[in-house]
């Protein structure tokens, strides 16, 4: 009994102060490969919601420390020039045993300067699972070229449908 008390008083506070993300939980620390998908889904939704609303400091808390500055620079330029209309997850691929995932996010937006036609881009986000830092963290993104037929037909999701990241988003589908 005394050992358990010692553990609770000494070890648990040390874990909670070890540089973990404020979005972390005990579940993130002890996640099995099967649980990682659900944790990733939650992180992706929360991160992209913050990007949608332009709350970049909050979004940065979901990013690996070494990638935060680059993210802020790109996000500030985009926030100044674009207005996001909608975002949706198209696809998610997880290699849980390697602690890496790729998430395709389709973003509909318009340029604040010039025409207000809604445009679309597909980005592949790379996420890594860091047990010591509290779970899934955004690592990088790359723009994926849309297929010509998707652009011509105004297709906004792949087969199987996209899952909107925002609850009450405007959309002219």
pLDDT tier, 152 (very low <50, low <70, confident <90, very high otherwise)? low
Nearest-angstrom CA–CA distance, 5 and 25: 21
Of the options 3.40.50.300, 3.40.50.920, 3.10.450.50, 1.10.443.10, the CATH number for the domain spanning 35-164: 3.10.450.50
| Backbone conformation region of residue 144, classed left if phi is above 0, alpha if psi is from -120 to 50, else beta | beta
Provide the percentage of residues in the chain whose pLDDT is more than 90. Answer: 55
| Separation CA 87–CA 141 (nearest Å) | 15
pLDDT over threshold 50, residue 101 = yes
Residue 26 has pLDDT above 90, yes or no: no
Domain extents in the chain: 35-164
Out of 30-34, 86-90, 143-147, 152-156, which region has the weakest mean confidence (pLDDT)?
Answer: 152-156
Instruction: For residue 108, give the nearest of 93, 92, 90, 95 by alpha carbon.
Output: 90
Whole-prediction pTM: 0.70
pLDDT of residue 149: 64
What average pLDDT does range 140-151 have in this prediction?
Answer: 80
């Amino acid at each position: 009994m005394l050992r358990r008390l010692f553990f609770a008083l000494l070890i648990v506070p040390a874990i909670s102060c070890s540089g973990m993300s404020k979005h972390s939980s005990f579940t993130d620390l002890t996640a099995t490969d099967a649980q990682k998908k659900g944790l990733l889904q939650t992180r992706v939704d929360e991160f992209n919601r913050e990007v949608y609303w332009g709350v970049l400091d909050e979004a940065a808390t979901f990013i690996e420390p070494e990638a935060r500055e680059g993210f802020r620079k790109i996000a500030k330029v985009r926030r100044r020039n674009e207005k996001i209309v909608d975002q949706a997850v198209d696809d998610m691929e997880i290699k849980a045993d390697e602690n890496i995932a790729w998430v395709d996010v389709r973003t509909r937006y318009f340029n604040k300067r010039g025409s207000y036609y809604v445009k679309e881009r597909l980005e592949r986000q790379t996420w890594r699972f860091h047990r010591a830092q509290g779970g899934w963290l955004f690592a990088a993104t790359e723009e994926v070229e849309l297929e010509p037929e998707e652009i011509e037909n105004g297709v906004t999701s792949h087969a199987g449908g996209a899952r909107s990241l925002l609850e009450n988003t405007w959309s002219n589908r």
